[in-house]
Amino acid sequence: MSADHEHAGPHGYSGDKAALLGRLRRIEGQIRGLQRMVDEDTYCIDVLTQISAAKSALHAVAVGLLEDHLAHCVVDAARAGDPTAKVKEASDAIARLVRS
């Protein structure tokens, strides 16, 4: 996060914060499971499969946050008159997601 971003809440995800936190806790559990798999010398392909699942889960959370950002922050900026900075912010986030 950079200092030039407006962080005044509530954010787009605020209404569904409990669900978002639940998803992140499940992902955290997946990561702990990966650590356990490596500690127990689990077969490489099985570990890689679980890494892929964790990445997919994180990607789904990221897409949901991006949708919330577009629906709330960008729309609010457009209503206020100048969405340029918020659109750029969203475009940059999309570019990072596509690269990952």
pLDDT tens for each residue of 40-93: 999 999 999 999 999 999 999 999 999 998 998 899 889 999 889 889 999 999
CB 27 within 8 A of CB 58: yes
Is the per-residue pLDDT at 2 higher than 80? Answer: no
Model pLDDT, residue 22: 96
**Which H or E element spans position 94?**
helix 84-99
Q: Would the pTM of this model clear 0.85, i.e. be above it?
A: no
Model pLDDT, residue 7: 56
Superfamily (CATH) of domain 15-97: Metal-sensitive repressor, helix protomer (1.20.58.1000)
